[in-house]
């Protein structure tokens, strides 16, 4: 029996004259991902991508797992392909479908006949297939209105495809189709979620992590690299740039009012992030900020940090509460790593009473106590890059 994967498009079907651009980016990502699991023939037709093992050594289970994390694919069907005759379809249904119906009480048979030369109509195909299912799995019942699972027959140009149940895909837009952005990646819960959400919109992600050795440890850095590794499963690799903030934080502690420390540090971080983005051709910054979650994320505080840069700043989690962010973190697999108890730079010299409604003039007055440009340039010279999931 020939088994294949049918990958269904999401919002790509809404694209007009430039649809081929998005399709080609998704197919390039797909070919790269499944190549790890052997040789596969990949083709597309009528808003469906067909992934077919080219030989017996191809690992279709591994390819299926890879396809779940490819942006642009909304659902995946594991299907059996057979010749386009009712005898072959019925025989394949009886052999292939019963394991998919384990644990289900009701089903519905449905058919789509894109090859109109096939002699039977879609309703008649579905009727015969439904009878074959009942014969093979006597315990299951038909429910045409609210079935627990649908047995589907797709009669296409070359083969008929039989499958039952859809596996959710990653959805969104193909990786890299919306440009490149720089994610400010801490060791917390929010920033990996923000990176995932922008990657889902087609943004190619690079990351910037700020460390403060010796106040932050090697284990804290490795925690961030592990978060990047998890994200790389969705992005086909990620570059993590690292900058030391130690000197800046020590100077802020020594010369500036404690209440302004977090805001001043955020402005240094934003400027360094903009410089990093410019060096590596990133068109926007991405942060995990959520409005009102902490003192530096009030509307006034965000305005003060925004003022430090000219580059666009994307905050995809800005309207989410913590529980919503945690749900996404659990879904993408970053949560358990994010909650490991290793410090990050934002916990160093944290003020007891940070300003929540800062005035820009007062922040700038504190900032001018230091040689801002000299500190920024010295910190930027510490930049180094680690490639994760990339050759």
SS3 at position 258:
helix
What would the pLDDT profile of 5-41 be if each residue is shown by its tens digit? 999 988 888 787 888 899 999 999 999 999 999 999 9
User: Using CA atoms, how far apart are residues 305 and 267, in angstroms rounded to an integer?
Assistant: 5
State the average pLDDT for the chain.
92
Phi-psi category of residue 229: left, alpha or beta, with phi > 0 → left and psi -120 to 50 → alpha: alpha
Would the pTM of this model clear 0.85, i.e. be above it?
Answer: yes
115-119 long-range contacts (CB < 8 A, ≥24 apart) are: 115/84, 115/155, 115/156, 115/157, 118/84, 118/155
Residues 6+ apart with CB under 8 A from 368: none
- Of 228, 241, 252, nearest to 275 by C-alpha is 241
Residue 379, CA distances (Å) to 181, 242, 268, 275 in order: 21, 10, 10, 11
CA 83 from centre of chain = 37
pLDDT of residue 344: 67
> In 3D, which of 239, 238, 234 has the Cα closest to residue 174?
234
Chain CA centroid to CA 28, Å: 17
347-359 confidence digits (pLDDT tens): 666 767 677 788 8
Q: What is the pLDDT of residues 171-189, one digit of tens each?
A: 999 989 999 999 999 989 9
* Residue 216 confidence (pLDDT) above 90: no
Structure token digits, residue 199: 């990657």
The position carrying tokens 């108890």 is 341
The confidence band for 252, taking pLDDT boundaries of 50, 70 and 90, is very high
Q: Output the CA torsion sign for 212, 216, 218, 223.
A: negative
């Amino acid at each position: 029996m020939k088994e294949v994967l049918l990958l269904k498009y999401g919002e790509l079907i809404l694209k007009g004259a430039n649809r081929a651009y998005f399709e080609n980016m998704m197919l390039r990502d797909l070919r790269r991902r499944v190549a790890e699991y052997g040789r596969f023939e990949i083709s597309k037709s009528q808003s469906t991508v067909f992934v077919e093992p080219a030989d017996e050594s191809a690992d279709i289970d591994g390819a299926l797992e890879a396809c779940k994390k490819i942006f642009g694919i909304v659902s995946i069907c594991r299907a059996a392909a057979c010749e386009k005759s009712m005898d072959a379809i019925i025989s394949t249904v009886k052999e292939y479908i019963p394991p998919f119906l384990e644990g289900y009480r009701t089903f519905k048979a449905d058919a789509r006949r894109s090859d109109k030369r096939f002699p039977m109509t879609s309703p008649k195909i579905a009727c015969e297939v439904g009878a074959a299912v009942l014969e093979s799995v006597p315990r299951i019942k038909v429910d045409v209105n609210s079935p627990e699972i649908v047995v589907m027959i797709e009669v296409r140009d070359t083969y008929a495809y039989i499958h039952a149940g859809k596996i959710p895909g990653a959805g969104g837009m193909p990786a890299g189709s919306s440009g490149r952005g720089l994610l400010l990646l801490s060791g917390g819960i929010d920033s990996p979620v923000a990176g995932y959400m922008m990657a889902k919109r087609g943004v190619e992600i690079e990351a910037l992590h700020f460390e403060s050795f010796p106040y932050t440890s090697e284990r804290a850095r490795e925690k961030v690299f592990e978060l990047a590794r998890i994200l790389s499963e969705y992005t086909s690799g990620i570059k993590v740039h690292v900058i030391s903030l130690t000197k800046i934080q020590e100077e802020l502690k020594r010369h500036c009012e404690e209440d302004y420390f977090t805001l001043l540090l955020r402005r240094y971080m934003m400027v360094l992030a903009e410089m990093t983005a410019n060096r590596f051709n990133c068109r926007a910054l991405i942060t995990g900020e959520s409005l009102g979650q902490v003192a530096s994320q009030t509307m006034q505080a965000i305005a003060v940090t925004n003022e430090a840069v000219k580059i666009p700043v994307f905050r995809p989690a800005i309207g989410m509460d913590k529980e919503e962010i945690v749900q996404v973190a659990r879904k993408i697999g970053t949560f358990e790593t994010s909650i490991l108890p290793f410090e990050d730079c934002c916990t160093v010299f944290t003020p007891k009473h940070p300003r929540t409604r800062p005035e820009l003039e007062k922040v700038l007055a504190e900032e001018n106590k230091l040689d801002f440009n000299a500190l920024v340039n010295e910190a930027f010279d510490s930049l180094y890059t680690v490639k994760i999931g990339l050759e």
